[in-house]
Amino acid sequence: SMMDGKEFPLPRVTHEFQDPKTGEIMPLQITPYRGESGLHGNTGSIGMNIDDRSFSRANPVLNQKTGKYSDYKVLDGSETLEDYQKRGYMTALYDALESYLADYSPGSKFLPSDNLSPEMQRLWQKRLTPNVPARRGVTGRPTFGPDIHINRG
């Protein structure tokens, strides 16, 4: 139905990201890609980037049993160029994606990819730990608490 929040086209959304080291302000963009028609739920990927410095993509997950796409999306190809690492770029992308899914695809959740670098493992460990004080997201409002985070159990 049109009410389930999963119909494309979803909007493209732009936030501002400030590099904490240089003070530069850059666009952080969330770009949804059209998947198959709505027969199987939300089959589109969602791309995210900060300038050409940091990027990731959230891909839909096919439920092998039902042949339908689940509410999960798996992150793929997450990368921040070496010169810009450890400045919060990827955390900002994930916060923005979380906010985007909450607004436009309620019930959707995202998972880390299976082959995480040690840095990414630490980032996810932080995200998945309850009782971490709410970070302020790129939009200036608090990011969501542990209940929106997901583990693979």
How is residue 126 written in tokens?
Answer: 């932080």
DSSP conformational letter for 90: H
Instruction: Quote the pLDDT of residue 18.
Output: 92
Report the predicted TM-score, pTM, of the whole model to 2 decimal places.
0.71
Sequence letter at residue 57 = R
Spatial separation of the C-alpha atoms in residues 1 and 62, rounded to whole Å: 20
Spatial separation of the C-alpha atoms in residues 10 and 130, rounded to whole Å: 30
Instruction: Quote the pLDDT of residue 125.
Output: 74
33-83: per-residue pLDDT in tens? Answer: 876 554 445 567 889 999 999 999 988 877 778 877 777 788 888 899 999
Residue 138 pLDDT greater than 60, yes or no: no
Spatial separation of the C-alpha atoms in residues 19 and 25, rounded to whole Å: 6
94-109: per-residue pLDDT in tens? Answer: 889 888 888 887 777 7
Cβ–Cβ contacts within 10 Å for residue 93, how many? 26
